[in-house]
Amino acid sequence: MNSDQFEGKWKQIKGQAKQKWGELTDDELDQIDGKREELIGKIQERYGIEKEEASKQVSQFEETCHC
Please, which contacts does 42-49 make with residues 24 or more away whose CB atoms are closer than 8 Å? Answer: 46/21, 47/21, 47/23
Domain architecture of the chain: domains with CATH? 3-64 (1.10.1470.10)
Of residues 60, 61, 7, the one with CA closest to residue 33: 7
Compute the average pLDDT of residues 6-21: 91
pTM, entire model: 0.89
pLDDT of residue 47: 97
Check whether 67 has a pLDDT greater than 70. Answer: no
Taking only the tens place, the pLDDT of each residue in 24-66 is 999 999 999 999 999 999 999 999 999 999 999 999 998 888 6
